[in-house]
C-alpha cells in the first residue's frame, strides 16, 4: 500500500489551544495537500504545499514540508469547536492523490 | 460555482439489485474521480476519468462499472454487490489529471448499504 501514515490518530484539545498533526508519505511528490472531513461528509481542501516549498500559511493554518524525511505537519492555531473533524494529508504524485490514514480532531468548547 | 453534487445521498440495495450513483460538476473540470471510503479510513481511489476517458482503474471488481457521458457527469453503475461494498462513495473533480497534482473538489458522498 502506498498509503501514508498520520499521527496522532486522534487528538482532543480545548478551544483556543493549538493542534498539530503529522503526516508521512512514501512516494516522491509534486505537492502535499491537506483536506478536512466532517463526519460522514465530503472532503474539503484546506491547503496545498509544493515540493519546493518548506512552509505555507493560510489563515489559522500553517503547513510545513520536509521532502528529505517525506513528512509534513499541519498546525491549526487558536482552535475552535467548529474545527472538530478528521484531517487527511494527501500526497500528490504522477497518477493520483494518496491519502494518509487521518487524524480525528476533537475541540472541546 | 465550486460545487460537486452527488445523488442519491443514501442508497440501500440488495445483492441482486442494479443501481447507479450520479455525480455532476459545472466547474469545467476535465478530471473526475470515484473514491470508496469505509468508516474511520481514508478515501481509496477507484477510478479516474480524464477528458471523459477512463485513465485509472485501481483493480476494482467488475460489479462496479463507471461511465462518463460528458465532461460534467460521472456515473457509477452497481450490480450484484456484496455487503462488504457498503461504504461512503465519494466523487471528486479537478481541473486536469496528471502532473500538476491539482486540488480536488469533493461531493458530499453517497452512503451505500448493501443488504
The partner residues of A37 in beta bridges, in order of sequence, read A43, A86
DSSP secondary structure letters along B23-64: EEE-S--SEEEEEEE-TTS--EEEEEEETTEEEEE-S--TTE
pLDDT tens per residue across span A7-18: 899 999 999 999
pLDDT at A59 over 50: yes
What are A4's strand-pairing partners? A100
Which chain A residues touch B90 with a CB distance below 8 Å? 42-43
* Cα gap A84→B109, rounded to integer Å: 19
Spell out a b/e string for A9-34, using b for 16 or more CB atoms within 10 Å of the CB, else e: eebebeeeeebbbbbbbeeebbbbbb
Task: Return the H-helix or E-strand segment holding A66.
Answer: strand A61-66
Residue A96 and residue B4: Cβ atoms within 8 Å? no
Percent of chain B clearing pLDDT 70 (strictly above): 96
* Pairs of CB atoms within 8 A across A/B: 60
Shortest CA gap B63–chain A (Å): 23
CA distance B56 to B47: 5
- Mean pLDDT, residues A31-50: 94
Evaluate if residue B94 carries a pLDDT over 80.
yes
More confident residue, A56 or A92: A56
Confidence at residue B101, expressed as pLDDT on a 0 to 100 scale: 66
Residue B96 pLDDT greater than 90, yes or no: no
Peptide bond into A8 cis (omega under 30): yes
Task: Spell out which residues of chain A touch residue B99, defining contact as CB-CB under 8 Å.
Answer: 30, 94
Percent of chain A with pLDDT strictly greater than 90: 80
Q: Is the pLDDT of residue B72 over 90?
A: yes
| pLDDT for the residue numbered B98 | 74
> Locate cell 490514514: which residue?
A101
Residue A52 makes CB contacts below 8 A (sequence gap 6+) with none
Q: State whether B101 and A45 contact (CB < 8 Å).
A: no
Q: Do B88 and A40 touch (CB under 8 A)?
A: yes
pLDDT on residue B100 = 61
Confidence of residue B1 (pLDDT cuts 50, 70, 90): low
Q: Give the residues across from B70 on adjacent strands.
A: B73
Amino acid at each position: 500500500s502506498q498509503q501514508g501514515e498520520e499521527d496522532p490518530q486522534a487528538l482532543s484539545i480545548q478551544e483556543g489551544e493549538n493542534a498539530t498533526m503529522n503526516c508521512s508519505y512514501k512516494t516522491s511528490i509534486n505537492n502535499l495537500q491537506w483536506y478536512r472531513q466532517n463526519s460522514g461528509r465530503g472532503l474539503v481542501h484546506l491547503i496545498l504545499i509544493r515540493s519546493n516549498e518548506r512552509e505555507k500559511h493560510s489563515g489559522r493554518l500553517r503547513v510545513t514540508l520536509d521532502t528529505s524525511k517525506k513528512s509534513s505537519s499541519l498546525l491549526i492555531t487558536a482552535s475552535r469547536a467548529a474545527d472538530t473533524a478528521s484531517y487527511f494529508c494527501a500526497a500528490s504524485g504522477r497518477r493520483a492523490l494518496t491519502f494518509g490514514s487521518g487524524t480525528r480532531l476533537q475541540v472541546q468548547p | 460555482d465550486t460545487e460537486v453534487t452527488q445523488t442519491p445521498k443514501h442508497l440501500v440495495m440488495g445483492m441482486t439489485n442494479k443501481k447507479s450513483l450520479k455525480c455532476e460538476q459545472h466547474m469545467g473540470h476535465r478530471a473526475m474521480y470515484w473514491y470508496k471510503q469505509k468508516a474511520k479510513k481514508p478515501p481509496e481511489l477507484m477510478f479516474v476519468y480524464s477528458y471523459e476517458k477512463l485513465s485509472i482503474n485501481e483493480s476494482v471488481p467488475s460489479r462496479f462499472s463507471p461511465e462518463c457521458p460528458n465532461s460534467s457527469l460521472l456515473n457509477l453503475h452497481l450490480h450484484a454487490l456484496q455487503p462488504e461494498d457498503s461504504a461512503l462513495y465519494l466523487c471528486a473533480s479537478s481541473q486536469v489529471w496528471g502532473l500538476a497534482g491539482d486540488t480536488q473538489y469533493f461531493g458530499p458522498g453517497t452512503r451505500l448499504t448493501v443488504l
